[in-house]
Amino acid sequence: MSKITAVTTAVPPYVVEQSQARDFAAHLFKNRVTDIERLLPLFDNTGIKRRYFSRPIEWFEIDHSLQEKNNAYIEAATDLGAEACRLLFERAGITPDQIDYIVYINTTGLATPSIDARLINVLGLRTDIRRTPIWGLGCAGGAAALSHAHHYCLGHPDHRVLIVAVELCGLTFMPDDFSKSNLVATALFGEGASAVLVTGDQVAGDGLTVRATQSNFYADSLNVMGWNVQSRGLQVVFDKRIPDLIADNSAAELDVFLKQERLERDDIDQFLYHPGGMKVLEAYVAAYGVPDNHFRFSREILADYGNMSSVTVLFVLERYMREVGLKRDRYGVISALGPGFCSESLLVKL
Protein backbone atom coordinates (compact mmCIF):
# COMPACT_ATOMS: atom_id res chain seq x y z
CA MET A 1 0.00 0.00 0.00
CA SER A 2 0.93 3.68 -0.10
CA LYS A 3 0.01 6.67 2.06
CA ILE A 4 -1.00 10.20 1.15
CA THR A 5 1.08 11.81 3.87
CA ALA A 6 0.63 15.54 3.29
CA VAL A 7 -1.01 18.01 0.88
CA THR A 8 -0.45 21.75 0.49
CA THR A 9 -1.87 24.42 -1.79
CA ALA A 10 -0.95 27.84 -3.15
CA VAL A 11 -2.83 30.47 -5.15
CA PRO A 12 -1.67 33.40 -7.30
CA PRO A 13 -2.05 36.98 -6.04
CA TYR A 14 -4.99 38.46 -7.99
CA VAL A 15 -8.45 37.83 -6.49
CA VAL A 16 -11.51 38.13 -8.72
CA GLU A 17 -14.91 38.10 -7.06
CA GLN A 18 -17.61 36.36 -9.07
CA SER A 19 -19.53 39.63 -9.46
CA GLN A 20 -16.41 41.15 -11.10
CA ALA A 21 -16.15 38.20 -13.47
CA ARG A 22 -19.81 38.62 -14.40
CA ASP A 23 -19.31 42.32 -15.17
CA PHE A 24 -16.17 41.50 -17.16
CA ALA A 25 -18.08 38.99 -19.31
CA ALA A 26 -21.05 41.32 -19.75
CA HIS A 27 -18.74 44.03 -21.08
CA LEU A 28 -16.64 41.76 -23.27
CA PHE A 29 -19.47 39.71 -24.78
CA LYS A 30 -21.85 42.64 -25.23
CA ASN A 31 -22.94 43.09 -28.88
CA ARG A 32 -21.06 39.87 -29.69
CA VAL A 33 -23.47 37.33 -28.24
CA THR A 34 -27.12 38.01 -29.05
CA ASP A 35 -28.55 36.43 -25.89
CA ILE A 36 -25.82 37.49 -23.47
CA GLU A 37 -28.32 38.83 -20.91
CA ARG A 38 -30.04 35.47 -20.80
CA LEU A 39 -26.70 33.69 -20.30
CA LEU A 40 -25.21 35.93 -17.60
CA PRO A 41 -27.14 34.30 -14.72
CA LEU A 42 -24.74 31.41 -15.32
CA PHE A 43 -22.23 33.33 -13.18
CA ASP A 44 -24.67 33.53 -10.27
CA ASN A 45 -25.61 29.85 -10.48
CA THR A 46 -22.09 28.38 -10.35
CA GLY A 47 -21.85 28.41 -6.55
CA ILE A 48 -18.52 30.24 -6.91
CA LYS A 49 -17.69 33.24 -4.72
CA ARG A 50 -14.20 34.13 -5.93
CA ARG A 51 -11.20 32.89 -7.91
CA TYR A 52 -7.47 33.60 -8.09
CA PHE A 53 -5.35 34.51 -11.10
CA SER A 54 -1.70 35.09 -11.93
CA ARG A 55 -2.51 38.24 -13.92
CA PRO A 56 -4.83 41.18 -13.10
CA ILE A 57 -8.29 41.17 -14.64
CA GLU A 58 -7.33 43.95 -17.08
CA TRP A 59 -4.74 41.62 -18.64
CA PHE A 60 -7.51 39.40 -19.98
CA GLU A 61 -9.17 42.20 -21.94
CA ILE A 62 -6.26 42.22 -24.41
CA ASP A 63 -5.39 39.43 -26.82
CA HIS A 64 -2.03 37.82 -26.09
CA SER A 65 0.03 35.55 -28.29
CA LEU A 66 0.59 31.91 -27.42
CA GLN A 67 4.21 32.81 -26.68
CA GLU A 68 3.19 35.53 -24.21
CA LYS A 69 0.74 33.22 -22.47
CA ASN A 70 3.25 30.42 -22.29
CA ASN A 71 6.03 32.61 -20.91
CA ALA A 72 3.60 33.79 -18.24
CA TYR A 73 2.77 30.17 -17.44
CA ILE A 74 6.40 29.11 -17.04
CA GLU A 75 7.17 32.02 -14.72
CA ALA A 76 4.06 31.74 -12.53
CA ALA A 77 3.95 27.93 -12.46
CA THR A 78 7.55 27.69 -11.28
CA ASP A 79 6.96 30.22 -8.51
CA LEU A 80 3.63 28.74 -7.36
CA GLY A 81 4.86 25.17 -7.58
CA ALA A 82 7.91 26.03 -5.49
CA GLU A 83 5.73 27.79 -2.92
CA ALA A 84 3.46 24.75 -2.55
CA CYS A 85 6.48 22.42 -2.27
CA ARG A 86 8.20 24.45 0.43
CA LEU A 87 5.00 24.42 2.45
CA LEU A 88 4.79 20.66 1.95
CA PHE A 89 8.34 20.03 3.16
CA GLU A 90 7.61 22.08 6.27
CA ARG A 91 4.28 20.37 6.95
CA ALA A 92 5.68 16.87 6.39
CA GLY A 93 8.87 17.57 8.34
CA ILE A 94 11.19 16.47 5.53
CA THR A 95 13.98 17.99 3.47
CA PRO A 96 14.15 18.20 -0.35
CA ASP A 97 16.87 15.55 -0.54
CA GLN A 98 14.46 12.95 0.85
CA ILE A 99 12.32 13.04 -2.32
CA ASP A 100 12.96 10.09 -4.63
CA TYR A 101 10.54 10.82 -7.46
CA ILE A 102 8.68 13.90 -8.74
CA VAL A 103 5.52 13.85 -10.88
CA TYR A 104 4.46 17.13 -12.49
CA ILE A 105 0.88 17.59 -13.73
CA ASN A 106 -0.61 20.30 -15.92
CA THR A 107 -2.64 21.01 -19.03
CA THR A 108 -2.58 24.81 -19.28
CA GLY A 109 0.99 25.58 -20.33
CA LEU A 110 3.90 24.09 -22.25
CA ALA A 111 7.53 23.98 -21.20
CA THR A 112 10.64 22.15 -22.37
CA PRO A 113 12.56 21.69 -20.11
CA SER A 114 9.40 20.88 -18.16
CA ILE A 115 8.46 22.68 -14.94
CA ASP A 116 9.64 19.75 -12.80
CA ALA A 117 13.17 20.29 -14.12
CA ARG A 118 12.96 23.91 -13.06
CA LEU A 119 11.66 22.89 -9.63
CA ILE A 120 14.55 20.47 -9.15
CA ASN A 121 16.92 23.44 -9.50
CA VAL A 122 14.83 25.91 -7.50
CA LEU A 123 14.14 23.54 -4.60
CA GLY A 124 17.50 21.79 -4.52
CA LEU A 125 16.11 18.31 -5.12
CA ARG A 126 18.56 15.45 -5.62
CA THR A 127 20.32 15.20 -8.97
CA ASP A 128 19.48 11.47 -9.22
CA ILE A 129 15.76 12.04 -8.69
CA ARG A 130 13.37 10.21 -11.02
CA ARG A 131 10.83 12.44 -12.73
CA THR A 132 7.74 12.22 -14.91
CA PRO A 133 6.02 15.29 -16.35
CA ILE A 134 2.44 14.52 -17.46
CA TRP A 135 0.52 16.86 -19.78
CA GLY A 136 -3.00 16.64 -21.17
CA LEU A 137 -5.07 14.85 -18.52
CA GLY A 138 -7.02 18.01 -17.75
CA CYS A 139 -9.26 17.91 -14.70
CA ALA A 140 -8.47 14.22 -14.15
CA GLY A 141 -4.75 14.91 -13.72
CA GLY A 142 -4.67 15.36 -9.95
CA ALA A 143 -6.40 12.06 -9.23
CA ALA A 144 -4.38 10.31 -11.95
CA ALA A 145 -1.14 11.54 -10.35
CA LEU A 146 -2.17 10.10 -6.98
CA SER A 147 -2.85 6.77 -8.68
CA HIS A 148 0.48 6.91 -10.54
CA ALA A 149 2.35 7.62 -7.29
CA HIS A 150 0.52 4.81 -5.52
CA HIS A 151 1.48 2.22 -8.10
CA TYR A 152 5.08 3.45 -8.11
CA CYS A 153 5.21 3.04 -4.32
CA LEU A 154 3.96 -0.54 -4.58
CA GLY A 155 7.23 -1.33 -6.32
CA HIS A 156 9.33 1.09 -4.23
CA PRO A 157 7.91 0.83 -0.69
CA ASP A 158 10.77 2.83 0.86
CA HIS A 159 10.42 5.83 -1.48
CA ARG A 160 8.81 9.26 -1.21
CA VAL A 161 6.95 10.68 -4.23
CA LEU A 162 6.37 14.41 -4.69
CA ILE A 163 3.38 15.36 -6.85
CA VAL A 164 3.21 18.95 -8.08
CA ALA A 165 0.24 20.23 -10.06
CA VAL A 166 -0.08 23.80 -11.32
CA GLU A 167 -2.93 24.97 -13.51
CA LEU A 168 -3.24 28.54 -14.75
CA CYS A 169 -6.52 28.23 -16.62
CA GLY A 170 -6.96 31.98 -16.97
CA LEU A 171 -3.93 32.19 -19.26
CA THR A 172 -5.79 30.13 -21.87
CA PHE A 173 -8.56 32.75 -22.13
CA MET A 174 -9.21 34.15 -25.62
CA PRO A 175 -10.99 37.53 -25.55
CA ASP A 176 -12.20 37.10 -29.15
CA ASP A 177 -13.75 33.67 -28.60
CA PHE A 178 -17.46 34.33 -28.14
CA SER A 179 -18.54 30.71 -27.90
CA LYS A 180 -20.75 29.47 -25.08
CA SER A 181 -17.90 27.17 -23.99
CA ASN A 182 -15.67 30.21 -23.45
CA LEU A 183 -18.41 31.95 -21.49
CA VAL A 184 -18.78 28.88 -19.27
CA ALA A 185 -15.00 28.76 -18.78
CA THR A 186 -15.03 32.45 -17.85
CA ALA A 187 -17.61 31.67 -15.17
CA LEU A 188 -15.82 28.59 -13.80
CA PHE A 189 -12.06 28.58 -14.26
CA GLY A 190 -9.52 29.64 -11.65
CA GLU A 191 -5.83 29.08 -11.00
CA GLY A 192 -3.85 27.34 -8.29
CA ALA A 193 -1.09 24.93 -7.34
CA SER A 194 -0.81 21.92 -5.06
CA ALA A 195 1.94 19.64 -3.77
CA VAL A 196 1.36 16.15 -2.39
CA LEU A 197 3.65 13.72 -0.60
CA VAL A 198 2.89 10.05 -1.25
CA THR A 199 5.02 7.47 0.57
CA GLY A 200 5.53 3.74 0.45
CA ASP A 201 4.47 1.58 3.39
CA GLN A 202 8.03 1.21 4.62
CA VAL A 203 8.32 4.99 5.16
CA ALA A 204 7.43 6.06 8.71
CA GLY A 205 4.51 8.41 9.19
CA ASP A 206 0.73 8.61 9.09
CA GLY A 207 -1.51 9.36 6.16
CA LEU A 208 -4.53 8.31 4.17
CA THR A 209 -3.92 4.74 3.03
CA VAL A 210 -4.63 4.11 -0.66
CA ARG A 211 -6.49 0.80 -0.93
CA ALA A 212 -7.24 0.66 -4.66
CA THR A 213 -7.44 2.70 -7.86
CA GLN A 214 -9.71 2.63 -10.90
CA SER A 215 -9.64 4.17 -14.38
CA ASN A 216 -12.68 4.36 -16.66
CA PHE A 217 -12.52 5.41 -20.29
CA TYR A 218 -15.59 6.36 -22.31
CA ALA A 219 -15.26 5.20 -25.91
CA ASP A 220 -15.93 7.68 -28.74
CA SER A 221 -16.12 10.68 -26.40
CA LEU A 222 -13.11 12.73 -27.48
CA ASN A 223 -15.25 15.84 -28.05
CA VAL A 224 -16.70 15.99 -24.53
CA MET A 225 -13.89 17.98 -22.89
CA GLY A 226 -10.49 19.37 -23.80
CA TRP A 227 -8.71 22.05 -25.80
CA ASN A 228 -8.61 22.93 -29.47
CA VAL A 229 -4.93 23.76 -29.96
CA GLN A 230 -4.78 26.87 -32.16
CA SER A 231 -1.98 29.13 -33.31
CA ARG A 232 -3.06 31.76 -30.76
CA GLY A 233 -3.59 29.44 -27.81
CA LEU A 234 -5.79 26.77 -26.26
CA GLN A 235 -9.51 27.07 -27.01
CA VAL A 236 -11.67 25.41 -24.37
CA VAL A 237 -14.09 22.59 -25.24
CA PHE A 238 -17.04 21.77 -22.95
CA ASP A 239 -19.96 19.51 -23.76
CA LYS A 240 -23.28 19.97 -21.96
CA ARG A 241 -23.63 16.17 -21.83
CA ILE A 242 -21.21 15.82 -18.88
CA PRO A 243 -23.91 15.72 -16.14
CA ASP A 244 -25.86 13.22 -18.27
CA LEU A 245 -22.81 10.98 -18.57
CA ILE A 246 -22.48 11.05 -14.78
CA ALA A 247 -26.16 10.23 -14.34
CA ASP A 248 -25.93 7.29 -16.75
CA ASN A 249 -22.62 5.75 -15.68
CA SER A 250 -21.21 6.87 -12.34
CA ALA A 251 -23.28 4.78 -9.91
CA ALA A 252 -22.57 1.50 -11.69
CA GLU A 253 -18.86 2.35 -11.96
CA LEU A 254 -18.67 3.15 -8.24
CA ASP A 255 -20.44 -0.05 -7.27
CA VAL A 256 -18.07 -2.18 -9.35
CA PHE A 257 -15.09 -0.38 -7.82
CA LEU A 258 -16.31 -0.85 -4.25
CA LYS A 259 -17.39 -4.44 -4.77
CA GLN A 260 -13.81 -5.35 -5.64
CA GLU A 261 -12.89 -4.23 -2.10
CA ARG A 262 -16.00 -5.85 -0.55
CA LEU A 263 -17.53 -2.48 0.21
CA GLU A 264 -20.80 -0.69 -0.51
CA ARG A 265 -21.79 2.96 -0.88
CA ASP A 266 -22.85 3.13 2.78
CA ASP A 267 -19.24 2.40 3.75
CA ILE A 268 -18.07 5.67 2.15
CA ASP A 269 -17.87 8.62 4.53
CA GLN A 270 -16.71 11.27 2.06
CA PHE A 271 -16.61 11.65 -1.71
CA LEU A 272 -13.58 13.90 -2.27
CA TYR A 273 -14.34 14.70 -5.90
CA HIS A 274 -13.14 17.25 -8.40
CA PRO A 275 -15.95 19.85 -8.48
CA GLY A 276 -16.13 20.53 -12.21
CA GLY A 277 -19.21 22.63 -11.61
CA MET A 278 -22.38 22.71 -9.53
CA LYS A 279 -24.31 20.60 -12.04
CA VAL A 280 -21.56 17.97 -11.92
CA LEU A 281 -21.79 17.69 -8.13
CA GLU A 282 -25.59 17.62 -8.22
CA ALA A 283 -25.45 14.82 -10.80
CA TYR A 284 -23.21 12.75 -8.52
CA VAL A 285 -25.45 13.29 -5.48
CA ALA A 286 -28.50 12.20 -7.45
CA ALA A 287 -26.77 9.21 -9.06
CA TYR A 288 -25.31 7.91 -5.79
CA GLY A 289 -28.40 8.64 -3.71
CA VAL A 290 -26.36 10.15 -0.87
CA PRO A 291 -26.81 13.31 1.24
CA ASP A 292 -25.25 16.57 0.04
CA ASN A 293 -22.83 16.61 2.98
CA HIS A 294 -20.96 13.66 1.46
CA PHE A 295 -19.66 16.21 -1.09
CA ARG A 296 -19.24 19.09 1.36
CA PHE A 297 -15.55 19.65 0.76
CA SER A 298 -15.97 19.66 -3.01
CA ARG A 299 -18.71 22.30 -2.76
CA GLU A 300 -16.59 24.46 -0.45
CA ILE A 301 -13.55 24.39 -2.72
CA LEU A 302 -15.67 25.21 -5.77
CA ALA A 303 -17.09 28.23 -3.93
CA ASP A 304 -13.73 29.49 -2.70
CA TYR A 305 -11.54 28.83 -5.76
CA GLY A 306 -13.60 27.79 -8.79
CA ASN A 307 -12.55 25.02 -11.16
CA MET A 308 -8.74 24.88 -11.29
CA SER A 309 -8.60 21.80 -13.53
CA SER A 310 -6.29 19.05 -12.20
CA VAL A 311 -5.40 20.98 -9.05
CA THR A 312 -8.94 21.25 -7.69
CA VAL A 313 -9.33 17.71 -6.35
CA LEU A 314 -6.05 18.16 -4.45
CA PHE A 315 -7.46 21.32 -2.83
CA VAL A 316 -10.45 19.23 -1.76
CA LEU A 317 -8.12 16.60 -0.33
CA GLU A 318 -6.01 19.20 1.49
CA ARG A 319 -9.03 20.78 3.16
CA TYR A 320 -10.33 17.42 4.29
CA MET A 321 -6.98 16.39 5.77
CA ARG A 322 -6.50 19.74 7.47
CA GLU A 323 -9.99 20.01 8.97
CA VAL A 324 -10.78 16.36 9.71
CA GLY A 325 -7.45 14.55 9.85
CA LEU A 326 -7.22 10.78 10.17
CA LYS A 327 -10.32 8.90 11.31
CA ARG A 328 -8.93 5.41 10.57
CA ASP A 329 -12.32 3.72 10.67
CA ARG A 330 -14.02 4.96 7.48
CA TYR A 331 -13.41 5.09 3.75
CA GLY A 332 -13.37 7.82 1.16
CA VAL A 333 -13.28 8.00 -2.61
CA ILE A 334 -11.15 10.52 -4.51
CA SER A 335 -12.23 11.01 -8.12
CA ALA A 336 -12.05 13.36 -11.10
CA LEU A 337 -13.30 13.46 -14.68
CA GLY A 338 -11.15 14.60 -17.58
CA PRO A 339 -10.59 14.67 -21.32
CA GLY A 340 -10.73 11.36 -23.08
CA PHE A 341 -13.52 11.25 -21.77
CA CYS A 342 -12.40 9.45 -18.58
CA SER A 343 -12.52 9.21 -14.83
CA GLU A 344 -9.73 8.48 -12.35
CA SER A 345 -10.58 7.26 -8.85
CA LEU A 346 -8.93 6.09 -5.64
CA LEU A 347 -10.32 4.33 -2.59
CA VAL A 348 -8.63 5.55 0.59
CA LYS A 349 -8.84 4.64 4.27
CA LEU A 350 -9.56 7.94 5.97
Catalytic (active-site) positions: 139
Peptide bond into 113 cis (omega under 30): yes
Strands 160-168, 130-135: pairing is unpaired
> What is the distance between the terminal CA atoms of the chain, rounded to a whole angstrom?
14
Burial 293-331 (b: 16+ CB within 10 A, else e): ebbbbbbbbbbbbbbbbbbbbbbbbbbbbeeeeeeeeeb
Task: Tell me if residue 1 falls in helix, strand or coil.
Answer: coil
Nearest to residue 51, comparing CAs of 229, 334, 315?
315
Our separate counts of H helices and E strands in the chain read 11, 13
Nearest to residue 275, comparing CAs of 292, 263, 260?
292
